[in-house]
Amino acid sequence: MTSAGILLFRHAGGVVEVLLAHPGGPFWAKKDLGAWTIPKGEVDEGEELRDCALRELEEELGARFSFAPDDLIELDSIRQKGGKVVHCWAAEADFDPSALDSNTFTMEWPPRSGGQREFPEVDRAEWFGIEAAREKMIPAQVEFLDRLLER
């Protein structure tokens, strides 16, 4: 499986902060450390990676962003523990986490109940300093922080 996403960053009081998303749904509800992610999603067949990253950013945060081609910093890709390859770009922008309006997904819940429930793909977003982000992020994605700081 291949995903693409955008790591938003900003400078706040002389410190670099990154915006991370917490996955929605019952599996992630009580998970915190090692659970947060860049806003990302699965690449559709025939879709350009960068186009997917921009689409997913808007779908998961519920906000429109306008980036010039030179505004996006390519951070290459990583492979997560389960085998998913994630391609990432970084972009400097601001976003108010209280404005989060994520798209949703439907799944059977509770399991084997036959009932369907709708959940947000992202249940919250938050700005973190780099060191806090290292603790919150899915471990394989921490590499994106190092790549951002190098650039």
Q: Report the chain's C-alpha Rg in angstroms.
A: 15
pLDDT in tens, 66-104: 998 889 999 999 999 999 999 999 999 999 999 999 999
Q: What is the pLDDT of residues 102-121, one digit of tens each?
A: 999 999 999 999 999 999 99
Give 135's DSSP letter. H
What per-residue confidence (pLDDT) applies to 108?
Answer: 95
Domains and CATH numbers, the chain: 2-22+29-99+127-150 (3.90.79.10)
CA 91/CA 30 separation, integer angstroms: 29
User: What's the rounded mean pLDDT across residues 24-37?
Assistant: 95
The answer to whether the beta carbons of residues 149 and 130 sit under 8 Å apart is: yes
Report the C-alpha gap between 69 and 51 in whole angstroms.
11
Question: Which residues, in sequence order, are CB contacts of 102 under 8 Å at separation 6+?
Answer: 24, 59, 60, 61, 62, 120, 121, 122, 123
Q: Tell me what pLDDT residue 69 has.
A: 80
State the Cα–Cα distance between residues 108 and 14, nearest whole angstrom: 45
Mean pLDDT (the chain, rounded): 96
Residues in the chain: 151
Instruction: For residue 144, report the phi and psi dihedrals to the nearest 5 degrees.
Output: -65, -35
